[in-house]
A and B are shown apart, each in its own frame.
Chain A
Amino acid sequence: MKAAPFDYVRVSSIDEACQALADGGEDARIIAGGQTLIPLMAMRLARPTLLIDINEVDDLTGISVNGDNLVIKARTRQADTLASDVVKERLPILADALSHVGHTQTRNRGTVGGSLVNADPSAEIPLIAQTLDATIIAQSTRGERTIAAGDFFESAMATTLAPDECLTAVRFPIWPAANTGFGFHEVSIRDSDFALAAAAAQTTLDSNGNCQRLSVAICGASPAALRLSIVEETLMGSDLNDDAIKTACANIDDLIDPQSDVHADAAYRGRVAKVMARRAISDARDRAKGELV
């Protein structure tokens, strides 16, 4: 299993990467962590003619807080993001999800941006981007643009990023911490594997303990991570009791489109997705109340 021949160029700035993409044509690809692209090339499911290596572009790494947003540059390693104190404090939902992305060795190379562009239907980082309405920032020789997560993930392994664009950063909104909690649940065959299905939720409760803000999304049961707006609308204003959550999550059959594969059949994935959504919402509620750490 060896990759087909290709050309390689190591770039040292975002501008150089964009220029190389523009000059390289449709079959030029950026390589970041390589944790997905290299296996795909080994299996010849991908055959780029030019790889543009962004691993030495210092401008593409770093985590910072900018107003109400946490900004993670594209080539920031998953391991560094997981270890980051500011992520643990301000975006604990992402830290929790990241602990399920592969394992230490893949996280030491794999990047946040690579996972977003790769858009695997079971991937955790895209799930959190959908849950929190993250904004993706992309650059090309034509300029910079921002893309809402909802418009970015098109379907399985497909995004609206243009072939000549380099993802440079992702912006996650930080919610006010008071009375806010998150939940994340997944089922996978082994800890380090992709999720069969996973769900993430974040809520803010008002002073009476009722839900005043709620975001829920699932992955693994649709071509791309899916926001459950119906569930959010149904539960808004309620006290998020277990029965209400269960009823709200029972109504998502028309929205999901689980697929069968060697790991699990469609019916199982669909069922698991619902249960994960329920657990994520009730954990979010309990954390918002300070009853769960």
Chain B
Amino acid sequence: MAGITIDRIEKKFGAVTALQQLSLKVEDGEFIALLGPSGCGKTTLLRIIAGLESQTSGRVLIGERDVSALPPRQRGLAMVFQNYAVFPHMTVYENVAFGLRMKGASDAEVKKQVERAAGLLHIEPYLERYPAKLSGGQRQRVAVARALAVEPAVLLMDEPLSNLDALLRLEMRSELKAVLASSGTTTVYVTHDQTEAMGLADRIAVMHKGVIEQIDRPQALYERPATRFVGGFVGSPPMNFIDLPVADGTARLGGFSSPVPLRNGTVTAGIRAEDIDVAEDGGLPFDVGVCEPLGATLLLTGRIDGQLARVSVRPDSRVRPGDRLGLTPNAGRIVWIDPADGKAMGAAA
């Protein structure tokens, strides 16, 4: 039983507030991704869970145990550091074995676990080398292997795959997911790569400026972002945000109209690039600026009433820069956002 409860954690570095009253509940065996831009407090939160940083206020519970005041080694977790922290004076083998040795495991046990972890991360050929002789990506895998070798109940990972090439990253990603799911390890995984978060996590917590903006399953997060920030951060290309004038509860622009949960004023329509039907005319008037063939789709970048928008169309569409098209968004998938606070509004009234 090793769920994690983060209860109103606040962290100040002098005048800088890195985390503001942040709460988060990770279920036992769950895989949570902390997703957010650089400097939003992901590493700080992870270090507080690990006990390497002391919180200004709030509590951390692991299982039923309040660990807020315990030193890291009594919290029963493993961690992959953002800058690896692979011990330079030990061979790769001894690095991976470190946690097991600290637990007093027998040599046979150590050997077995090291070989298993090394196999998972494809670092067997380097076991007798020293880290100075490894590439960044290889060192990073040593750091992950060191954490997996102890078979922790709670695993904290700070951008553990950031230094791998795209192919290896994809492979490691699926292997990590399979291993951690089968061992039932409670995992908090920090990343600023949204595809990685979507692919790996049971739930994603999107962080922004020291708060969690939204926490949900990847698909729900993608489809129903709670804020403009989440819609813009999750998904590639980012969600389109088009301001529309509203009169009498109806938003209208060009040939497009839709009921909105607002009487009068302006509303922001959050629309995914692929949730749009494209026609010769009618609907939202779209002036094509750039066409990018992405293989599976053709990505059009242009303007709706002067506002930046991106649309995915079939790769064989004959669209040219300078064309004017008519866009009809899929009504059920539009997210209505209040431009004043950037928060999503309830369903259309």
Answer yes or no: are A and B bound together in one complex.
no
